Amino acid sequence: MKGERKELFRGVMMAIRRLWSDRSGVGGVEFALIAPLLLMIYITVFELTIGLSISKRVTRAAGTIADLVTQEGSVNKAFLGTMIPVAQSIFVPYGVPTTHIKVTGIEVDGATPKVMWSWNETGGKPYAAGSSIDVPANMKSSGAFIVHAEVSVPHQLLMFMPGLIPSEMRDITISRDYYYLARSGEAIKCDC
């Protein structure tokens, strides 16, 4: 009986030593510890890539709208209304639900830029005619006519760990604007 206990004790001790010296599961444990961090990094990089791509498309949409308007001698509400599908076509793979657009015709009289006309995607006038507006310093030459296009889109961040970031940071608005000089050098009239 005493010999059996001794043999049992020796067997248990050898099993404990083998378990202690066995390193075959270390890789699995390390992966289990690092996998959540790697997943967070992957999703963050994915989200940044989507956000930067949408930001570039917002910039492209604002530039395209300003460029198209400056090619015209006069515009009206119907023409400006076609800028909505133009902007939305730039966001095609991302399916941006709403695109907010403002187009403003600005005349520089002396050194003071003044709003001649303005239009937004709902057909309203975001800026009062005759009001002064700020433009880049290098565009403030007397007699210049400037088209200012503003585009903004809502963007919802993919936050898979909601407790880490406040909810007001999940919904952001990406907006860009462009100033273009009229191509003809003449004021662009608007029937709006």
> Could you tell me which of 97, 154, 106, 153 has the C-alpha nearest to residue 126?
106
Q: Are strands 74-76 and 189-191 parallel, antiparallel or unpaired?
A: parallel
pLDDT in tens, 112-153: 899 999 999 998 999 999 899 989 888 888 888 999 999 999
Q: Which of 28-37, 90-99, 104-113, 180-189 has the lowest mean pLDDT?
A: 90-99
Q: Looking at residue 168, what is its pLDDT?
A: 60
The reported pTM is: 0.75
Q: Which residues lie closer than 8 Å to 84 by C-beta, 6 or more apart? A: 99, 101, 121
Chain CA centroid to CA 98, Å: 13
In angstroms, the CA 1 to CA 30 distance is 44
